[in-house]
Amino acid sequence: MTWRGVALLVLWLGSAWPVGAAENSELYNFVKPLDVVSLELAGTLLPSQTAEETGSGEILRRLTFKPVEQPALRLLPQAGHWDWTGAGAMSLRIQNAMDWAITLDVSIESAGGKVLRARVALPAGPAQTLLLPLAVTSPLAHGMRAGPPMPWSEGGQRWLLAETVEGELAADQVLAVSLSIPQPDSAQSILLGRFGTRQDDLQAPLYTQLVDSFGQYTRASWPEKGRDLAQLQGMLAREKAQLQDWLAKRPATDQFGGLLDGPVFKTTGFFHTSKLDGRWYLVTPEGHGFFSLGVNTVSSAHSKTYVEGREAMFDSLPPADDPLSAFYGTGDNRSDNGANRGRAFDHGRWYDFYNANRLRLYGAADPAQWRALSLDRLQAWGFNTLGNWSDPEFAGNQRVPYTMPLSIQGDFASIQTGQDWWGGMPDPFDPRFAMAAERAIAIASRDLRDDPWLIGYFADNELAWAAPGNDAASRYALAYATLRLTTDVPAKRAFLKQLRDKYRNQNGISKAWGIDLQAWELMEDPGFQAPLPDPAYPQIEKDLQNFLRLYADTYFKTIVDALKWHAPNQLLLGARFAVTTPEAVASCAQYCDVLSFNFYTRTPQSGYDWSLLHELDKPVLVSEFHFASRDRGPFWGGVSEVASEADRGPAYANFLAESLKEPQLVGVHWFQYLDQPVTGRLLDGENGHLGLIGITDVPFRGFVETVRKANLALPEQWLRSAGKQP
């Protein structure tokens, strides 16, 4: 590592290395140095030779990071190395000197170029001891997406444990420890005290007794948290009375939720789309405009969490002779896809706290009672659509329109792009894909083709049309990955045919791509690496784009052909795009009735280039969005995190208001109905506070009230914005 403009401060006050780490050891004290240590300052300074007293009376010394690219402080042994064999963690007494949280990068360098790294959110407030475990770890090692909130109090002290540590370390030959802030906009200061090692990294006590008997986080309080059964029942009784009042005040609509005061369209008996005066609409079977306000995963089946092997996390699990033991089960979610890679505790015995709580609260975990209550809530809160992954038993409810997923699975070939969050891309050229699509659509549409309450179907979910990143290799990852495969993969044969039809032989493609291809057969070899796009050879990029469009056309046409046969009355609502390409979006616009995107951004406009969508002129549905926080139990702040529960409602209302500015937008669907378990859902360990209701079935009152207000204000705002369209 190169350090420019380094100021070297050497402090000679004794020698105590190598360190035997069988016990806690102090290597250096910024307030009163005890050992021989070198400090390298790069873009940082110790503005005072003396320490200062904090608000709590502790004495610490200030370190300031200047507003440069990567200001850093390195601590090094004056000679040789530190031996941290047997130590569990590096420790550092630290306090944020600012009034806001600071992102701090910490790294430990060792012999052989091995480096252990962690990124820590250093909150404003009093001092704590930072612990960085000396081995790779993350909350996934404990079976969940995010770990318990920090700082954390244990043994009368305040600790800040680095939850994710990456890299590698030679613990017997530690060469340096560095602290840095990535690109600060202005000078930032922290206060420092003792630096050393600790035998115990405290991960075991951190992850012990996290969850109470109701499935709630034990170390925090919030208004909807139940102390006992009587308190929870009281909250639900108050909610019941409020629901009846809200249901009685629902605005007048047609039976499907269409606006009676809005424009009138052709009556088809099923949901369809129509464009009027420059604005796209979903239209109800009775011919009225319909802005789809939906909630995803309205289901009681996604609240299970694995308990086997980590029973110590739970304060109280029911014994075998308890009636609540009926909510144990077993499962297996092991996989190597991106969503689950590296996660421990992904199979074995699970427990379902949500449905156990329903038995406690209502005397039975009756599915029909649950569905009726859920429909009451959705309608009282101003929602009009059951979004993706909702309980299939809602079909035929004749109260709230619904959508259905098409999850196409089978033994067809797949292609890895590097994203692969839910697995590889299905190979649509494989005849087995068409068979699997036909089978999935036939099963999903069975007995539903004549149901006017079914809006339509989503095709798969968040497929890996590209790789993460903004470079050309990521943009065209699907094409490059296809060419690297063997010719027994149908997609590669399709790509080679497309190229051969255009260039005829190796001489033609060599000239167009600026390569020296000695024989056409060399492209058939596994591992063939096509060149990156080059302005001098524009055909490279054009050929990559042509293949991506052929790929997408084949995928969407296969689904459309099967859907027209099995479900001709319902809409194809798009592919729920996350990572995508312009070719895939354009193909979806050609074949699907609606384009759908999962936008985890503050506004819909931040989720995609809407100038491209305007050119396609197709209805657009936001099939997922949410705003999550970490102050209601579950640890993960979701994909789109806000600072606190109080910020979730305003963020929702703003997203809805911004949606009405886009004349192509026909609906937005919130993810999701119920909070995820504190210790992670079965599928992938996600443990976010994303819900309208918590694990005890109690709604988050302030959030729900703000959401309802925004939803009920939408019809007037929608009609007003429609009137502004040319």
Which token pair is 405?
């997923």
CA-based nearest residue to 137, from 117, 163, 172: 163
* pLDDT band at residue 687 under the 50/70/90 scheme: very high
Is residue 9 predicted with pLDDT exceeding 50?
no
Is residue 435 predicted with pLDDT exceeding 60?
yes
Pairing of strands 174-180, 102-110: antiparallel
What lies within 8 Å, CB to CB, of 101 at 6+ separation is: 121, 122, 123, 124
Is residue 23 predicted with pLDDT exceeding 80?
no
DSSP annotation of 49 reads: S
The 10s digit of each residue's pLDDT in 212-247 is 999 999 999 999 999 999 999 999 999 999 999 999
Residue 49 and residue 53: Cα distance in Å, rounded?
A: 14
Which token pair is 244?
């009846």
Q: Where are the alpha helices (DSSP H) in 313-423?
A: 353-362, 367-380
**φ, ψ dihedrals at 544, nearest 5°:** -65, -45
Taking a C-beta distance cutoff of 8 angstroms, is the pair 75, 91 a contact?
no
| Helices and strands (DSSP H and E) totals, the chain | 14, 32
Higher pLDDT, 723 or 172: 172
Domain boundaries, the chain: 7-206, 229-249+291-400+594-723, 250-290, 414-566
Q: Where are the alpha helices (DSSP H) in 527-609?
A: 539-566, 582-591
Q: What is the pLDDT of residue 21?
A: 39
Total residue count of the chain as it appears in this document: 726
Q: Crossing angle for the helix pair 539-566 and 431-445, nearest 10 degrees?
A: 40
Q: Cβ-count burial of 109 within 10 angstroms (0-12 exposed, 13-18 middle, 19+ buried)?
A: buried
* pLDDT band at residue 49 under the 50/70/90 scheme: confident
Taking a C-beta distance cutoff of 8 angstroms, is the pair 71, 50 a contact?
no
Residue 564 and residue 207: Cα distance in Å, rounded?
A: 51
Using DSSP, state whether 701 is helix, strand or coil: helix
Is residue 12 predicted with pLDDT exceeding 80?
no
The 10s digit of each residue's pLDDT in 122-132 is 999 999 999 99
Q: Crossing angle for the helix pair 506-513 and 490-503, nearest 10 degrees?
A: 90
The 10s digit of each residue's pLDDT in 554-567 is 999 999 999 999 99
Output b/e per residue, 255-272; b: 16+ Cβ within 10 A. ebbbbeebbebeeeebbb
Residue 496 and residue 505: Cα distance in Å, rounded?
A: 11
Is residue 32 predicted with pLDDT exceeding 90?
no
The per-residue pLDDT of the chain, averaged, comes to: 93
Q: What is the mean pLDDT of residues 598-610?
A: 97
* pLDDT band at residue 509 under the 50/70/90 scheme: very high
The 10s digit of each residue's pLDDT in 413-429 is 999 988 788 889 999 99
Amino acid at 186: S
The 10s digit of each residue's pLDDT in 630-662 is 999 999 999 999 999 999 999 999 999 999 999
Is residue 325 predicted with pLDDT exceeding 60?
yes
The 10s digit of each residue's pLDDT in 188-211 is 999 999 999 999 999 999 999 999
Q: What is the pLDDT of residue 140?
A: 97
Pairing of strands 414-415, 402-406: unpaired
Q: What is the mean pLDDT of residues 355-372?
A: 96
Residue 403 and residue 456: Cα distance in Å, rounded?
A: 5
Tell the residue number behind the tokens 């094409």, with chain if given.
Answer: 479
Strand residue runs (E) in 185-316: 188-198, 272-276, 279-283, 289-290, 292-295, 304-306
The 10s digit of each residue's pLDDT in 330-353 is 999 999 888 888 999 999 999 999
- The share of the chain scoring above pLDDT 70, in percent, equals 96
Instruction: For the domain made up of 7-206, give the CATH fold.
Output: Jelly Rolls (2.60.120)
Taking a C-beta distance cutoff of 8 angstroms, is the pair 189, 60 a contact?
no
Q: What is the mean pLDDT of residues 172-195?
A: 96
CB count within 10 Å of CB 710 equals 21
* pLDDT band at residue 33 under the 50/70/90 scheme: low
Taking a C-beta distance cutoff of 8 angstroms, is the pair 147, 206 a contact?
yes
Q: What is the pLDDT of residue 35?
A: 58
Instruction: For the domain made up of 229-249+291-400+594-723, give the CATH fold.
Output: TIM Barrel (3.20.20)
Residue 582 and residue 565: Cα distance in Å, rounded?
A: 28
Which token pair is 389?
């992954």
For residues 698, 704, 708, 709, the Cα torsion angle rounded to the nearest 10 degrees is 140
* pLDDT band at residue 717 under the 50/70/90 scheme: confident
Which element (helix H / strand E) includes 445? helix 431-445
CA distances 253 to 86, 258, 394, Å, are 69, 5, 21
